[in-house]
């Protein structure tokens, strides 16, 4: 595969834009994997197919949704509030990015449904095969354009418009969502404490006066 996953530590949310870019690399990797698997759905699935699909769907069921929530709930609102007159066109594109998130979610559901049918019933018929190949190809291309804009335009713009305190606040919100998402785990409190301690230590290293200033501000 051409894409690789960035080795950011699991608890490192002190650079939320780097975390979002890391998420982009993961999405690219698993979209490529699902595209390759889609081309095999006119044949009986092998044991390797089943394992690869299990890994891909486990990520794609939550990864893109979590990524969209991070952007729509934390990053996009702060960029809209910045209202830099010379960056109006780029900021207006945020509405389009949110629409693309919704369209992608619909396509993910369709792809998952067809993959589940393949796992349970064997080779897809000609119409189903065409749909899953076309949908995985369209998803990959849509994400390519979407990700390229965010990586090359939106995220660099965010580094210009947002303060370090705002970026730290975004990272803390991203961390909080993941702690809440693991609420059903028996060791949630230990996980939350460990992640929070790691986050605060890194923030303090970057800015010793961070806690004295009252922590992150929106």
pLDDT in tens, 58-114: 998 999 999 999 999 999 999 988 866 556 666 778 989 999 999 999 999 999 999
Higher pLDDT, 6 or 104: 104
Q: How far apart are the first and last CA of the chain?
A: 39
pLDDT of residue 9: 52
User: In this structure, which CATH number among 1.10.3470.10, 1.20.120.520, 1.10.10.10, 3.50.50.60 belongs to the domain 16-162?
Assistant: 1.20.120.520
Confidence tier at 10 by pLDDT (50, 70, 90)? low
CA atoms within 13 A on the CB side of 59: 18
Task: List the chain domain ranges.
Answer: 16-162
What pTM, to 2 d.p., does this model score? 0.76
pLDDT of residue 80: 87
């Amino acid at each position: 595969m051409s894409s690789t996953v960035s080795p950011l530590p699991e608890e490192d949310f002190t650079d939320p834009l780097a975390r979002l870019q890391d998420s982009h690399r993961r999405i690219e990797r698993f979209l490529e994997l699902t595209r390759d698997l889609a081309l095999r759905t006119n044949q009986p699935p092998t044991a390797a197919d089943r394992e690869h699909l299990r890994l891909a769907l486990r990520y794609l069921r939550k990864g893109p949704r979590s990524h969209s929530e991070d952007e729509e709930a934390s990053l996009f609102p702060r960029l809209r509030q910045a209202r830099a007159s010379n960056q109006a066109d780029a900021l207006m594109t945020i509405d389009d990015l949110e629409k693309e998130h919704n369209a992608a979610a619909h396509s993910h559901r369709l792809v998952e449904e067809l993959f589940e049918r393949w796992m349970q019933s064997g080779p897809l018929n000609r119409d189903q095969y065409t749909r899953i190949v076309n949908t995985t190809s369209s998803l990959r291309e849509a994400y390519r354009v979407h990700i390229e804009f965010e990586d090359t335009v939106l995220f660099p713009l965010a580094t210009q418009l947002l303060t370090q305190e705002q970026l730290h606040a975004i990272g803390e919100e991203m961390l909080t969502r993941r702690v809440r998402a693991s609420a059903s785990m028996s060791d949630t409190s230990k996980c939350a404490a460990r992640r929070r301690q790691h986050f605060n230590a890194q923030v303090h290293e970057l800015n010793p006066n961070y806690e004295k200033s009252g922590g992150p501000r929106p």
